[in-house]
């Protein structure tokens, strides 16, 4: 794929970085079988002609796959297993609510859509079917009220689909609030039958109960869920260099003047840590990969080192 190029893609990523992405794949904790043949291999019993291995026979296994030659020699029952091509879909969901634009200097949305593009590139390089979509409050989200943005891209399986994904991501104007569960409920209804990996890119700065409800919905639908929480340095320490400030809730418009004090700093830090910990603990308890992407961290290092370390790609 390195022979393919587009001004938008090469402006974001170096050719060396793209080459390294092509050697990676989206990691799945589950195996998914669909009607389309893909590049991934599953070990299942006797559904294709390529022999894989033997395993012990267990009551209930199909006896037609028993190797009787081994039984004649050992008087033990062993089953032949075979290789079958499988395909799974990669869903990349990006938070396009207004909170992703603030603090402005953190550049959360820009960082998130670069991550979405890189993950899509990895998926397409291994011939996974890849779909990208953005979620936001549908009634107040500006350009996201256009159904082409609400519904996301089609499922792409060819490598040149990365250009359409790029155009989609860089055509989004974030806005509105967050209806996480409502959007996921709609999305999973539209994409029923495309099981696989579900990667969510968001600051997750909304109610913990809404986060848990949405993630549980994906678990119920048997997706392999992965969470990348995108945060920035100003968000982690909003009082740096300030003595007082007017705080504005970017989704509701509520305003409040606050003074910078040591107590307020500690209270904010504790509240943010508890908010992150709640998500991290929920993910750990439910076999959901979770990591934090800080926007002041080098992008290529995060993708090539942190994402494989955490098990989102390999």
CATH number for position 147: 3.40.50.410
* Residues 139 and 219 grouped into a single domain: yes
Question: 46 versus 192: which is more confidently predicted?
Answer: 192
Note the pLDDT tens digit of each residue in 164-202.
999 999 999 898 888 899 999 999 998 988 889 999 999
Q: Average pLDDT, stretch 76-80?
A: 78
pTM: 0.79
Q: What is the mean pLDDT of residues 285-289?
A: 95
pLDDT over 90 for what percent of the chain?
Answer: 55
State which of 71-85, 138-152, 179-193 shows the largest mean pLDDT.
179-193
CB neighbours of 258 closer than 8 A, spacing ≥ 6?
A: 244, 245, 246, 247, 264
Query: Of 236, 213, 234, whose CA–CA distance to 286 is shortest?
Result: 213
Identify whether residues 240 and 250 lie together within a single domain: yes
End-to-end CA distance of the chain: 19
Burial (Cβ within 10 Å: 0-12, 13-18, ≥19) of residue 160 = exposed
| DSSP β-ladder status, 40-44 and 78-86 | antiparallel
* Residue 141's pLDDT band (cuts 50, 70, 90): low
Are 75 and 99 within one domain? no
Decide if pLDDT at 82 tops 60. no
Of 257 and 43, the structure prediction assigns the larger pLDDT to: 257
Identify the pLDDT of residue 37.
45
User: Does residue 55 share a domain with residue 184?
Assistant: no
Q: Of 21, 56, 86, which residue constitutes the final position of a domain?
A: 86
Sign for the CA dihedral angle at 246, 249, 252, 256 comes to negative
Please indicate, yes or no, whether residues 45 and 177 belong to a single structural domain of this protein.
no
Inform me whether the pLDDT recorded for 83 exceeds 70: no
Q: Quick one: 168 and 253 in the same domain?
A: yes
Please state the domain count of the chain.
Answer: 2
- pLDDT, one tens digit per residue, over 91-110 is 999 999 999 999 999 999 99
Strands (E), the chain: 40-44, 50-56, 78-86, 89-95, 129-135, 196-202, 224-231, 244-248, 255-259, 289-294
Q: Give the burial class of 149: count Cβ atoms within 10 A of its Cβ; 0-12 exposed, 13-18 middle, 19 or more buried.
A: buried
258 three-class SS: strand
Q: Is residue 1 part of a domain?
A: no
> Do both 196 and 206 map to the same domain?
yes
pLDDT reported for residue 9: 86
Q: Tell me which residue has tokens 């250009």.
A: 163
pLDDT tens per residue, range 216-239:
999 999 999 999 999 999 999 887
CA distances from 286 to 63, 211, 215, 218, 290 (A): 36, 13, 9, 11, 11
Structure tokens at 221: 């639908």
Average of per-residue pLDDT across 39-53: 47
Asked if residue 15 and residue 59 are part of one domain, the reply reads no
Do the Cβ atoms of 40 and 87 come closer than 8 Å? yes
Tell me the residue range of the domain where 58 lies.
40-86
What pLDDT, on the 0 to 100 scale, is given for residue 42? 43
80 and 167 in a single domain? The answer is no
Average pLDDT, whole number, for the chain? 83
């Amino acid at each position: 794929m390195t022979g393919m190029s587009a001004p938008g893609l090469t402006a974001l990523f170096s050719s060396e970085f793209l080459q390294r992405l092509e050697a990676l794949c989206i990691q799945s904790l589950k195996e998914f079988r669909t009607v389309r043949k893909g590049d991934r291999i599953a070990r299942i019993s006797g559904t294709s002609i390529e022999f894989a291995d033997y395993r012990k026979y267990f009551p209930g296994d199909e006896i037609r796959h028993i190797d009787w030659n081994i039984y004649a020699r050992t008087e033990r029952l062993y089953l032949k297993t075979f290789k079958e091509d499988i395909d799974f879909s990669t869903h990349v969901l990006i938070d396009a609510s207004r909170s992703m634009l603030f603090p402005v200097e953190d550049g959360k949305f820009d960082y998130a859509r670069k991550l979405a593009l890189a993950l899509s590139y990895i998926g397409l390089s291994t011939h996974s079917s890849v779909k990208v979509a953005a979620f936001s409050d549908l009634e107040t989200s500006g350009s996201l009220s256009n159904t082409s943005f609400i519904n996301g891209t089609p499922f792409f399986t060819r490598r040149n689909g990365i250009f359409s994904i790029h155009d989609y991501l860089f055509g989004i104007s974030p806005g509105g609030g967050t209806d996480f569960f409502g959007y996921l409920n709609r999305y999973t209804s539209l994409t029923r039958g495309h099981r696989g990996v579900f990667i969510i890119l968001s600051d997750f700065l909304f109610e913990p109960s809404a986060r848990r409800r949405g993630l549980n919905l994906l678990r119920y639908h048997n997706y392999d869920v992965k969470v990348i929480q995108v945060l920035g340095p100003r968000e982690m320490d909003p009082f740096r260099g300030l003595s007082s400030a007017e705080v504005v809730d970017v989704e509701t418009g509520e305003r409040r003047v606050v003074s910078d004090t040591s107590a307020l700093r500690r209270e904010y830090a504790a509240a943010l840590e508890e908010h992150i910990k709640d998500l991290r603990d929920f993910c750990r308890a439910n076999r959901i990969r979770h990591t934090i992407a800080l926007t002041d961290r080098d992008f290529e290092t995060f993708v090539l080192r942190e994402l494989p370390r955490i098990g989102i790609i390999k």
